[in-house]
Amino acid sequence: MLQAISMKPQIAIFSAGGNTSLEWAPRFAEAGTFVVDNSSAWRMDPGKKLVVPEINADVLTPEDKIIANPNCSTIQMVVALNLLHKKYKLNRLVVSTYQSVTGTGVKAVSQLEGERNGTEHTKAYPYVIDKNCIPQCDVFTDNGYTKEEMKLVNETRKIFGDDTIRLTATAVRVPVVGGHSESVNAEFEHEFEMNDVMQILNTTPGAILYDDILNLKYPMALYANGKDEVFVGRVRRDESQPKTLNMWVVADNLRKGAATNAVQIAQYLLDKGFVK
């Protein structure tokens, strides 16, 4: 890393954990390097921008040397909701996530594969994950929610620049490799027509509307695996209360949920001429 700093790279993408980012990102930034950080270290720092390029890349300036990449589950949800929020104004979100073991890392993948194959494996979770769902992603906080659930709350508000959005989340680990799925219930301030909603989703940057229930077509983790886009389906009005929408949102958590988003931020810096 010392050699890298002496060479003064123009952009550095960090994905080595929060402690590493806290130690090294300021050093790279001081040397004039733009740091796009994929850890949680800087996300809620009020002096750092939290960026999903399709939504808020325009907040970036040449002075923003440390840029935070949001959490994977947050990214896919806000991409899907972005234009709907702009038109109808989100009041409240209820989200349940069904998250791939790849979000935990290679140790979790090894556990799942070992349990399925009956082979020796490391243990990433306190319980069996194969043929099971574990209602815990990350550690619990004092309010009874996990850190993953609170990331959804806090990061969504910061990305949209709106602290009035009420949001509650339940994050669940499922025996899937290659994508996170989310059930999203969105209540808006203004009434909507379903035809307009579908048209908006069909033109939302970074999202693909995949919704054809007559032919049993809807997003699934298997479908999103290895792709960069966010897929949206099962879009329908919540008939239990007004101005509320249900949708199913799926994305590859290692692509748009992490690497793709970071690279898109770097590309934006290049396109804007911040990096020569």
Annotated catalytic sites, by residue? Answer: 72, 180
* Residue whose C-alpha is closest to residue 244's, from 169, 166, 191, 165: 191
Rounded Cα distance, 211 and 219, in Å: 8
CA 228 to chain centre: 12
Which two structure tokens, joined as six digits, stand for 149? 């659930």
* Residue whose C-alpha is closest to residue 241's, from 92, 95, 97: 92
Q: CB of 95 within 8 A of CB of 185? A: yes
Q: CB of 173 within 8 A of CB of 101? A: yes
Q: Distance between the two ends of the chain, CA-based, in angstroms?
A: 22
| Helix-strand-coil split of the chain, %, nearest 5 | 40, 25, 40
The alpha-helical segments, DSSP class H, found in 89-203 are 106-117, 147-160, 194-202
CA 181 to chain centre: 11
Residue 185, class by beta-carbon neighbours within 10 Å (0-12 exposed, 13-18 middle, 19+ buried)? middle
Rg of the chain taking only CA atoms, in angstroms: 19
